[in-house]
Every structure is written in structure tokens, then in C-alpha cells.
């Protein structure tokens, strides 16, 4: 089997917040038979046992929602017990948890730390912008509660990053938001554009424009490149460098095929992507279908192949290796159309690509020099230098190794 990961919705769309821009809020209509959605023990065990019976280089469980912490710490302790029960000796298991952090207390944080969960915390910036859309069900701002959750994670030494949904309220404040996070010691950032359309393919009020998205990325890039390239991790920037240095795509939106993972809903229903949890894209159910059958589903294959059905203009674009036509969700008219954000991506890459290439070259050189220091006996001093200069090793990197 081709390796795959799981993105799990143990509470479906249920959440203790009611964020106006949330793309998953309306998914509760898929399961109208109940107002409260919680993954059962039977579904949980079947999912973990079945997945861990497949051959994977690493078993990756991504817990999302809705709000997955509504399941409580007891549920996630059960997750660990089942992973230990069905995992074979020597296998690698990774758990990540995407949360609004408002329900995180010390007990929960201790569990996450003990079992090395990587946590993503949604925080849109300072209170004035965060509380524009991220409200409780009763309409109260959630910023203070999120910061309390972050304090619990920090106090208990949980590894976590910050996910910023870039929307109409914060898109004009790129530098301010970047500095706000950095100056609080929050050094792992993931910036996601808010792009939502109504039934007529018209942008929703909180959707960012391509121009604003481009300016936002340029602003945070200028802050980062000036002093922070070895201090602050911005996932997009890391992914661009990974592509340049190792020719690896580490974000699904940059890859050439959308068959990267499966979404598992609370009742075991399986979908190809959390942006496309739709009845006509349901692939099956883990209580009835094997992972092999799900992966070989013609519907799944057809969904993944849409990624390269991009607009002809994409094929002529020098930045195609870094965006692959962008996420299907950002192509509002059809998979064959241009991304809503295309002009913004071009603006950003035109602004930053030279600096990225210089930084990538620096990383490659550092790695080669480190390799020479660690394995000097592997390279005869009269052999060609592995840096590719064409010179003998002793006349090139060997002088400083």
C-alpha cells in the first residue's frame, strides 16, 4: 500500500466555539440523527487496529474537529492504550491534536506531554482580531481562554505550534501578528488563508483577496528573513525550503496528488479530505471496508487526480513547482480553474524566491560541510569534492573541514 495518514474527527463538527468562518460547522447536517456526536469505543478500536495492521513507515493520527478535546483526556488515554495494544515492536506512532485550546487544563496537558502529542493551537492574533470571529456559542471572545490553554501547554512542556487563519480581520496586520507571536515566545507558525464561497461561488465576507494574501505573506516574510530564519519556523517557508533542498513536498496543497490521507468521521465514515467531507464523496466506512479497499477506490483516485487538472496557465508558470496549482478548495469554479489566490501567490514568490534560493544554497553547503566533518575518512583527499565544484576535495571544502 502507498503510505497514508489519518485525520480523525472524533466529535464530528461539534465544538464549544462558534467561529463564523469555520468551514466545518455545517457538516453536522450530514448526521442529523443526533445533536451530539462522539466516536464510540467500537469505532475507535476498529480504526486503530485496522490502520496499524497496514504497513506504514510511521502511523500518523491527526485528531481534529470540530473540537476534539470535547472527548476529554480519558478518550485520548484510551487512544494510547489501543495504539500500544495493536502496535508492533519497533513501530513509530505519531499523534497530533488541532485544538482551540480553551478546554486544555494541566491534567490534559500532562497527558499530551507524556505521550509526545504535537499540538496545534488556533490563535488569530491579538484579542482585537482573534475575537472578531473566534467566539463562544454565547458570543463571548475566546482569546483569554486560548492564552490560558497555551500557558498550560507551556507549563507542562508540550510541543505545540500556532495556527493562524488569515481572514479579512487580520490579513492587513501581517507584521503585527508575526511580532505578537514571536515576542510571546511562540516560534512555530502556520498561516492558512481563509477562502470560503457561498452557493453562488461568491466569496464570503471573511475571505481574503489574492492581493491581500500576497501582501500578508510578503510582510511576514520580510520580518522573518531579516533576523529570524534560524529562530522562527513558518511552515510555508519550511516547506518551500524542503522542496528546494530535498525535492520533497511536505504539504498536501503543494503536492501533485490529493490522495495523501483519509478523513475518519465520528461514526467511521471515510472521506478523501476534510475540505471535502460531502455525501457524494464518501468512500466507505471502516466498520465495513478495509483500508486497502478504500485506498483502491476509483472515487478516491479520481479525487486525487484532479490536482493536476489545473488551468493551462499554471503549466507555464515558473512557480508551479511550489504550489501545484494550489489547493482544490481554492479553485472555486472548477478543478481546471485558477486558484482564487493565484495573483497573491505570484506576488509572494516574485518577492521572496531569490532569498529562498540563497537560503537553500546555504543549507545545502552547511550540510555538506557537516557531512565532511562527521565522515572525513569516507572521502579521499584527492577525490572530487562532493560539493560539485569540480575541484579536488583537498583544494576545496577539505581546506576547512
Active site residues: 274
- C-alpha distances (whole Å) from 317 to each of 306, 322, 345 are 18, 10, 11
DSSP three-state, residue 78: helix
- Looking at 191-265, list the stretches that DSSP marks H as alpha helix, in order from N- to C-terminal side: 210-227, 235-246
Q: Are the beta carbons of 225 and 219 closer than 8 angstroms?
A: no
CA 48 to chain CA centroid, Å, is 21
> Grid coordinates standing for 315?
503549466
CA distance 163 to 100: 10
Of 5, 3, 23, nearest to 13 by C-alpha is: 23
Q: Are the beta carbons of 63 and 118 closer than 8 angstroms?
A: no
CA distance 92 to 263: 20
Q: Are the beta carbons of 188 and 158 closer than 8 angstroms?
A: no
Contacts of residue 112, Cβ cutoff 8 Å, sequence gap at least 6: 76, 97, 119, 153, 156, 158
Helix axes 235-246, 342-374, angle to 10 degrees: 60
Q: Can you point out the beta strands (E) in 200-319?
A: 233-234, 261-264, 269-271, 284-285
Q: Are the beta carbons of 232 and 354 closer than 8 angstroms?
A: no
C-alpha angle 60/7/131, rounded to 5°? 120
Q: Are the beta carbons of 130 and 144 closer than 8 angstroms?
A: no
Amino acid at each position: 500500500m502507498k503510505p497514508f495518514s489519518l485525520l480523525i474527527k472524533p466529535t464530528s463538527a461539534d465544538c464549544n466555539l462558534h467561529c463564523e468562518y469555520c468551514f466545518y460547522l455545517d457538516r453536522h447536517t450530514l448526521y442529523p440523527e443526533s445533536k451530539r456526536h462522539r466516536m464510540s469505543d467500537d469505532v475507535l478500536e476498529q480504526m486503530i487496529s485496522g490502520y496499524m495492521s497496514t504497513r506504514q513507515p510511521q502511523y500518523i493520527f491527526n485528531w481534529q474537529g470540530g473540537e476534539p478535546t470535547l472527548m476529554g483526556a480519558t478518550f485520548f488515554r484510551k487512544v494510547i492504550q489501543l495504539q500500544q495494544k495493536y502496535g508492533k515492536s519497533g513501530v513509530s506512532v505519531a499523534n497530533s491534536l488541532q485544538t482551540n485550546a480553551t478546554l486544555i487544563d494541566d491534567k490534559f496537558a500532562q497527558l499530551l506531554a507524556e505521550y509526545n502529542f504535537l499540538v496545534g493551537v488556533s490563535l488569530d492574533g491579538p484579542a482585537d482580531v482573534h475575537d472578531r470571529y473566534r467566539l463562544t456559542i454565547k458570543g463571548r471572545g475566546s482569546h483569554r481562554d486560548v492564552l490560558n490553554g497555551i500557558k498550560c501547554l507551556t507549563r507542562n512542556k508540550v510541543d505545540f505550534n500556532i495556527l493562524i487563519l488569515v481572514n479579512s480581520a487580520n490579513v492587513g496586520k501581517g507584521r503585527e501578528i508575526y511580532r505578537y507571536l514571536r515576542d510571546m515566545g511562540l516560534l512555530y507558525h502556520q498561516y492558512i488563508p481563509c477562502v470560503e464561497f457561498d452557493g453562488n461561488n461568491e466569496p464570503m465576507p471573511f475571505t481574503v483577496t489574492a492581493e491581500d494574501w500576497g501582501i500578508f505573506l510578503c510582510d511576514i516574510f520580510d520580518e522573518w528573513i531579516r533576523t529570524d530564519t534560524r529562530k522562527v519556523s513558518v511552515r510555508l517557508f519550511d516547506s518551500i525550503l524542503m522542496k528546494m533542498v530535498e525535492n520533497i513536498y511536505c504539504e498536501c496543497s503543494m503536492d501533485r496528488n490529493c490522495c495523501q490521507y483519509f478523513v475518519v468521521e465520528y461514526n467511521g465514515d471515510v472521506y478523501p479530505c476534510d475540505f471535502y467531507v460531502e455525501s457524494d464523496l464518501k468512500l466507505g466506512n471502516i466498520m465495513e471496508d478495509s483500508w486497502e479497499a478504500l485506498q483502491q477506490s476509483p472515487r478516491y483516485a479520481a479525487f486525487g487526480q484532479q490536482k493536476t487538472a489545473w488551468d493551462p496557465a499554471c503549466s507555464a508558470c515558473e512557480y508551479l513547482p511550489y504550489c501545484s496549482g494550489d489547493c482544490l478548495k481554492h479553485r472555486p469554479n472548477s478543478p481546471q480553474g485558477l486558484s482564487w489566490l493565484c495573483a497573491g501567490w505570484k506576488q509572494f514568490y516574485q518577492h521572496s524566491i531569490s532569498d529562498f534560493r540563497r537560503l537553500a544554497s546555504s543549507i545545502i553547503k552547511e550540510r555538506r560541510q557537516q557531512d565532511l566533518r562527521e565522515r572525513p575518512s569516507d572521502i579521499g583527499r584527492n577525490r572530487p569534492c562532493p560539493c560539485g565544484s569540480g575541484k579536488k576535495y583537498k583544494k576545496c571544502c577539505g581546506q576547512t573541514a
